[in-house]
Amino acid sequence: MSTLWNKGTAADASATAFTVGNDHEYDLRLAKYDIRGSQAHVKMLARIGLLTAAEAGCLGAELDKLAGEVEAGVFVVEEGTEDVHSQIELTLTARIGDTGKKIHAGRSRNDQILTDVKLYLKDEIEAIKTAVVRLFEQLQALSEAHREALLPGYTHGQVAMPSSFGLWFGAYAETLVDDLYLLLAARQIVDQNPLGSAAGYGNSFPLDRDYTTAELGFRCMHYNVVAAQMSRGKSEKAVSCAMAAVAATLNKLAADCILYLSPNYGFISFPDELVTGSSIMPHKKNPDVWELVRAKSNRLQSVPNEIALLLANLPHGYHRDCQLLKEILFPAVDTLRDLLDVTYLMLQHITVNRHILADAKYDNLFTVEEVNRRVLAGEPFREAYRQVGQQVADGKFMPDKAVVHTHKGSIGNLCTKEIKEKLEACLRHEA
């Protein structure tokens, strides 16, 4: 195996295969970020005199070619090469000779992987943010479109009080704002430059870390080099917690849709193309998409715990345990992006039943409305409550189905504009 650390002793093939694990697969998505970090590092080395202008130009040109190969999908981590960092340095050396060997001065694979992962997570957070905002806007549009359509509200799984599709869709929109705050907070943790911390203790070269921080677009650096290395895992856990919050929102929405799609409820429907059938029951329209949204969202909520357990009891400094962070988090990122896309697709095609409350079984939804009408007319609340309760018990309650809720956030005052302003304030806060 080609390793940057080889000192002349051949490594055991089985041990090598075990330690490399699935890194080749996950490293490919980091290749462009490793090249970006290398480009910034080369420019910095030239600024401090460790590379000549000619050497820096040669390295920069070759790194640009490698970036093009990554973009074209032809870059590979070759069999027998330990990781993406090794592949890039060995390729440079093969193509331009000894100048390629100079690129590693002042850094370690430890701060390389830290830099790669942070750059990768910044891009993924931006993509997730965009998808969350798109879903938010869709939910708000549905909320406004169905603001007049009443819907049973439940507590303890029992019919409780009138709700509306406007409230239901709007609730998920506003909840996504909270999730977005967590996501952007995670980005604040991620958006710090570790390059130059080397193996976690800096080095004797006069590195210009301010330069690489600006060149790579980080908002600031991890100043303390030990703290920089300690951010391995901390960044991943912060992002996973934010992702888990988004997943929890999608999970609850999926659970609602599964329930509401059941013929026993009949509150919503979807086109036949978005539901599945049964191999023996010709009438079935199964909510398989929503069931998988529910299941995969639950799995995503386990990711922060899996990362926490991986990192438990590790003293400061790098440990090979951290290699497994990629195979925990990277698939989770892919899953969340898929879930946001398919949720958006499903809601594009949702149909709501606007006449649910015509069914007499929902008459008791309006008991609180009747109690409140009597209180507004001057009756004490407890007396009004007793009288209406007695009517229900005697089977004599006759509902007035007019619903007049005017306070902020209620059926008649959805505060769509104010919730939109919350989102905008969140996005301004990130800037």
Q: Say if residues 424 and 179 touch (Cβ distance below 8 Å).
A: no
**CB proximity list for 144: less than 8 A, separation 6 or greater:** 166, 414, 416
As given in the structure block, the two tokens for residue 261 are 């799609």
As given in the structure block, the two tokens for residue 130 are 């965009």
At 204, the amino acid letter reads: S
d(CA 336, CA 329): 11
Q: Would you name the residues annotated as active-site residues?
A: 156, 278
As given in the structure block, the two tokens for residue 99 are 């100048």
